[in-house]
Structure 1
């Protein structure tokens, strides 16, 4: 529903959406600036990858996230894998239904290569089989349907990046703890050795 005379916040991929893309993109930028300025609590600037076979959706996703992240875009699963392997991508947002590699298959490969990268699927179809497959094989963070709301998607992505940072920090702390435990075990072993 339009607010304050602005276009609807729901974005899909039909011809009518492409026709109103400039107005929607402007509304996204204004909304993001006004509602989320200063709300970002991330420790670093992350790289995210948006994948969709609809160029209009890629432009909107890029515009929505470019202020706080480095956004890479790909129009196919195959192109996405190439970009993913060349950059340290923290989060990937992909459309489910694309020619060639589907979103679920793409995220399966992403999970095998970099399990900590956050995986989000966008779809215009409520495909229960795809949802179950995505959850079981790709461990997706979120499965969102089109049309998507820019504020909701932005909030989901920022929360996902915060969770990603916490997971990376937990791994680092566990490695530090292992190192400390090993050092103490070595020290304890040295103390226990009888001297001749």
Structure 2
């Protein structure tokens, strides 16, 4: 259990002193004295975190006493409490005495507790900050090595091969084009549906450029209002708007020398687009509430799942900003149009899930992979990852089979197979046409029973051995190790 924060009460009125003590002593270790001389004695003997001092005391004022405390014990958090008549004197001395909070009489117990808790928390943060600064100074050589090692690891992690793809995938040409333009400081717009890997491609471009040793920052432009987005990107000065309690450095300034990834750029309002265009044109940002602009050197990579060309024609997106963002554009095709990527992606995502859930399996049954390749995956890679994590969580065998898949995935993946196609039934030998129909019936029945072969065999009037023979003949559900008995 952490030690209690210590509070020193300095008040010459006995009743007031006791009231303050009773309010605070359940949460804090409290010392109470009647004047400045006694208070100095306590400060010499005890590690005091917070001082709560009355303004009116014999011999000296609270402000004068706290000025002395600030010089000798600068880390102590100082609060002063007084009636309304001394307000001007206290305000005049607040800066010199370093007073954290001014409380007025009569005070409310809950309000007093809140202020003293905040003061104690500030003291702890100051101590942690000093400790961290000391550790950083003493460990600076080690930290530099670690930073370099981290940068190298990031370069190795976010390269173009990180976008997993199979043989003949359309992603090959996308990655090759991205690799060729990565070294040049030109803006890039990445388009594609949600979940296709636009952020991964943006990271690969950054870490494949001369800016790889500098920072890469991300902002989702569709998640914030104009004011908050402007504050996040360009920063703000204290008091610039309601809730701006301190200065904030924006992401453009943080990314100076590096790259910024603006996701969902198509969701920004026309008013914000004007401000962003000015930054891209001039290379300068002006924090909210500031009268001075600051130059920044940032490469902008943006992304959207919208058709920005259509939005430009409809007047929803500024044409001049569109051309600023699209010196080069790349399109990532959806997963449904690159089924050849699904097996390698599935195995990669399974390895990640096995590591995250600490639940090892050996892989997928063949029929599960075939079902995945037939499903359109409207949520793209993100949906595929979720499905694999779900299957792994439910699994009790070494291989993930179709019985673990979500029903809607199975239904959609086999929808084409449930109704015989005219092309299959219109020509060919009778045996071939009957085989095609039998294969579809088998698959539909297994799907309805979530690939429980015993139930499917019972419905079809077959033995389990007979069903297995038909499945092998039609190359349905190639046996996984759990079926080999």
TM-score, length-scaled by structure 1:
0.69
C-alpha contact (below 8 Å) 1:122/1:145 kept by paired residues:
yes
Match of 2:136 in 1: 177
**Cα drift, residue 108 of structure 1:** 0.8
Moved more, 142-151 or 175-184: 175-184
- Aligned: 1:73 with 2:32: yes
Give the distance between the partners of 2:21 and 2:87, measured in 1 at CA. 28
Pick the aligned partner of 1:49 from 8, 19, 33: 8
Match of 1:94 in 2: 53
Does 1 or 2 have the higher relative contact order (CA < 8 Å, sep 6+)? 1
C-alpha contact (below 8 Å) 1:96/1:103 kept by paired residues:
yes
- Aligned: 1:166 with 2:137: no
Give the distance between the partners of 1:65 and 1:128, measured in 2 at CA. 24
Aligned residues: 144
Pick the aligned partner of 1:117 from 65, 76, 90: 76
C-alpha contact (below 8 Å) 1:78/1:101 kept by paired residues:
no
- Aligned: 1:85 with 2:41: no
Deviation per CA, 1:53-90, whole angstroms, max 9, x where unpaired?
10001111111111121110111111111111211000
Question: After the TM superposition, which parts of structure 1 deviate over 3 Å for at least 4 consecutive aligned residues?
Answer: 182-185
Deviation per CA, 1:142-164, whole angstroms, max 9, x where unpaired?
00110101110011101111111
Give the distance between the partners of 1:178 and 1:110, measured in 2 at CA. 28
C-alpha contact (below 8 Å) 1:107/1:119 kept by paired residues:
yes
Deviation per CA, 1:79-112, whole angstroms, max 9, x where unpaired?
1111112110000000001111211111111111
C-alpha contact (below 8 Å) 1:126/1:145 kept by paired residues:
no
Give the distance between the partners of 1:165 and 1:63, measured in 2 at CA. 23
TM-score, length-scaled by structure 2:
0.29
C-alpha contact (below 8 Å) 2:24/2:113 kept by paired residues:
yes
Match of 2:110 in 1: 151
- Aligned: 1:105 with 2:105: no
